[in-house]
């Protein structure tokens, strides 16, 4: 188009399009056809809920903390990477990568919290909401680490966070969580709900080669 505009001594390519009386998309389609780069796509028919259910839950993905059970049919994740406050996270006792990551997060969070507390003590104006939330978060992560490092809990045990998270699909939100906000779900029930693939993922996290 620019070459034709320059060759014709026109002011802009808009004048060339008017003269050729070609829609830009039609012009591009013709060029793609000449160059042999046309990609014909056929739209897929919508899938019913009944048909989708035949394929089960769908794939799981591994995060820094464990396995995310988010159903992408419901929509993208709306937790904004707040995995440790999400009930859709399934962790595995013995997962070294997750344990080391959580320990690093806790150390960084404590350092930031201590610096904020020192600033408050020095007379700086405080963000009281942040300090309250962060103190509770430190307590919860500490409880979680104590479970991950508890030798009385066998490696391979699934661990999940109690639902203090929010999602648009959730219609009933629990008013209270357990004291540690953590529980150990039954493997058999997980297999019934999510299938053997999830249990296989847990076994991979437990293995010594996963890190």
DSSP string, 19-40: HHT--HHHHHHHHHHHHT----
Q: E strand or H helix at 91, and its extent?
A: strand 89-92
* pLDDT, tens digit, 9 for 90 and up, residues 192-201: 566 667 777 7
Per-residue b or e along 8-44, where b marks 16 or more CB atoms closer than 10 Å to that residue's CB:
eeeeeeeebbeeeeeeeeeeeeeeeeeeeeeeeeeee
pLDDT given at position 112: 93
**How long a stretch of residues is the chain?**
211
Q: E strand or H helix at 209, and its extent?
A: none
pLDDT given at position 43: 80
Residue 189 has pLDDT above 80, yes or no: no
Locate tokens 């929010």: which residue?
Answer: 166
Calculate mean pLDDT across residues 75-85: 79
Most confident of the following: 88-92, 179-183, 206-210: 88-92
Calculate what percentage of the chain has a pLDDT beyond 70: 73
């Amino acid at each position: 188009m620019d070459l034709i505009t320059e060759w014709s001594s026109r002011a802009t390519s808009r004048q060339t399009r008017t003269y050729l009386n070609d829609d830009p998309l039609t012009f591009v389609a013709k060029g793609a056809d000449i160059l042999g780069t046309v990609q014909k796509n056929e739209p897929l028919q919508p899938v019913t809920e009944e048909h989708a259910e035949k394929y089960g839950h769908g794939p799981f993905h591994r995060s820094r903390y464990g396995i995310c059970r988010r159903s992408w049919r419901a929509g993208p994740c709306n937790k904004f990477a707040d995995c440790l406050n999400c009930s859709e996270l399934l962790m595995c006792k013995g997962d070294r990568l997750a344990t080391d990551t959580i320990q690093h997060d806790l150390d960084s969070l404590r350092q930031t919290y201590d610096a904020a507390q020192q600033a408050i003590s020095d007379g700086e104006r405080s963000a009281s909401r942040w300090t309250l939330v962060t103190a509770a978060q430190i307590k919860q992560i500490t409880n979680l680490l104590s479970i991950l490092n508890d030798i009385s809990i066998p490696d391979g045990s699934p661990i999940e966070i109690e639902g203090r998270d929010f999602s648009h699909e959730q219609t009933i939100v629990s008013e209270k969580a357990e004291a540690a906000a953590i529980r150990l779900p039954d493997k058999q029930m997980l297999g019934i709900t999510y299938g053997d693939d999830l249990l296989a993922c847990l076994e991979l996290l437990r293995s010594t080669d996963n890190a």
